[in-house]
Amino acid sequence: MSLRSKLITAFGGLLVMLLAVGVMGVRTVTQSSSAIERIFRENYDSVAACLRMKEAIGRLDRIAESSLWENLPNAIQDRLIALQRKGYINITPGVARGIKVTRYA
């Protein structure tokens, strides 16, 4: 074998190994990127679901609060308003647990 054919064979083998490693690298990066994309998509979906649940809980809370105030007997509601006028409590409308004691008798 001549020197030229030996060099071609040696560099050809190196080229084949380089191509094999390159193909394996591209395949690995593609698999990793698809896995990362799937994880990001699932995380986004879970965050979106949490936001929808938070909004639904807020709506349920407002409905419960409004039904509580509508069904509360007038005497109790009048007493709470009187206590607020005297400065004993502070009522924050539209907030769950919106009655705070400000001064003790």
% of the chain with per-residue pLDDT over 90: 34
Give residue 50's identity as a one-letter amino acid code. C
26-57 tens-digit pLDDT? 999 999 998 999 999 999 999 999 999 999 99
* Contact between 91 and 99 (Cβ < 8 Å): yes
Reply yes or no on whether the pLDDT at 94 is more than 70: yes
Residues 21 and 62 in one domain: yes
Residues 27 and 44 in one domain: yes
Residues 48 and 86 in one domain: no
Q: What share of the chain is helix, strand, coil (3-state, %, to 5)?
A: 80, 5, 15
Residues 19 and 65 in one domain: yes
Residue 77's domain spans which residues?
72-105
Cα–Cα distance for residue pair 37/78, rounded to 1 Å: 58
Residues 8 and 55 in one domain: yes
Per the structure, the count of domains in the chain is 2
Q: What pLDDT score was predicted for residue 72?
A: 64
